Amino acid sequence: MTPTDASDLELICPAGTPPALRVAVDAGAHAVYCGFQDETNARNFPGLNFSRADMATAIAYAHQRDCKVFIAVNTFPRAGDAELWKRAVDDAAALEADAVILADMGLLSYASARHPSLRLHLSVQAAAASPEAIRFYTETFGVKRVVLPRVLSVAEIAEINKAISCETEVFVFGGLCVMAEGRCSLSSYATGESPNMHGVCSPAGHVSYHEANGDFVSRLGSFTINRIPAGQPAAYPTLCKGAFRAKGTIGQVFEDAVSLDASALLPALCRAGVKALKIEGRQRSRAYTKAVVASFRAALDAMARGTEIPLGSLRPLSEGQSATCGAYIKTWR
């Protein structure tokens, strides 16, 4: 793949609900990704996602405004019980989604055989991070785009793009995972519900809070995730961002409370051959969606004009009001 022209970069935005989709479209998204109201997508939380009727209306709204809709069917079916996932693929095709985002090889095989005209994107949940793995998916199933895991540097992405023929999409803002997506079992261990199969990381039904000795204590399943002094802000209790005692000190053992923000790296990602820039946050508010989408659309428009990219406006929307470039710049090497 050759370097991408700035005017050809696609901004791919999250939509956890129909109102959020409309906000993302109106704020300047080139495409929106969303999921059905079941465990076929990796944000299977109460109050989120789309009924089939909602999805039909949302796709019509987006298409009327020259915006694409990608439907995420990106969890892994249970052995011998794939009908729910196959039905999601069938419905996405019938609703004329612009692409489906898949991770499971069985579903990719089903979709490519059953719906040969349906555009297939490989989910980040598949964790394809080498030219050889990506070529397998493109040559076997006709995948047109791969969402790269958040463990690669910009230089590594550039080398991958030189060796493959399909498009690549990368995350530029939002939450981070502690390892290659699709490979984490922390939440499964604590709750018995898998992000990769049930679509829920740290599900709300397993979260509890109480006070102890003046502290605000958050728990996930039977595990204490954090103890916050009274009056201090408390994050949602996910295991990877909890505070634990290790070698006599208490702190974030797995990952700090921080968000990815690759705004400053957009020109480098463009030169690396990336086609699409993805914002994380289907569970976030409409205000978050509007602000982040508008900021990145302004950045892309500035790049296309050859003017300076505006930076710094999204810090208040980052976890802990802190941001990182993550693995894109591997400063620990």
Closest CA to 273 of 105, 152, 111, 160: 160
Alpha-carbon distance values, 213 to 86, 144, 245 (Å): 51, 55, 18
Closest CA to 126 of 139, 110, 114, 143: 143
The segments of the chain whose pLDDT lies below 50 read: none
Q: What is the pLDDT of residues 265-312, one digit of tens each?
A: 999 999 999 999 999 988 888 998 999 999 999 999 999 898 988 887
Task: Please report where in the chains the tokens 């129909």 appear, as a residue.
Answer: 18
Q: Which amino acid type is present at position 113?
A: A
| % the chain with pLDDT above 70 | 94
Considering the domain 6-176+258-328 in this protein, what is its CATH number? 3.20.20.70
- For 222, residues 6+ apart whose C-beta sits below 8 A from its C-beta are 190
Residue 275 near residue 283 (C-beta atoms within 8 A): no
| pLDDT at residue 271, as a whole number | 95
Residue 18 near residue 54 (C-beta atoms within 8 A): yes
Q: What is the pLDDT of residues 50-99, one digit of tens each?
A: 999 999 999 999 999 999 999 999 999 988 899 999 999 999 999 999 99
List own/partner pairs for 183-189 with CB under 8 A and 24 or more apart.
183/127, 184/240, 186/239, 186/240, 186/254, 187/220, 187/238, 187/239
| pLDDT at residue 174, as a whole number | 87
Rounded to 10 deg, the angle between the 286-305 and 18-27 helix axes is: 20
Helix, strand or coil, per DSSP, at residue 271: helix
In the chain, domain spans: 6-176+258-328, 186-252
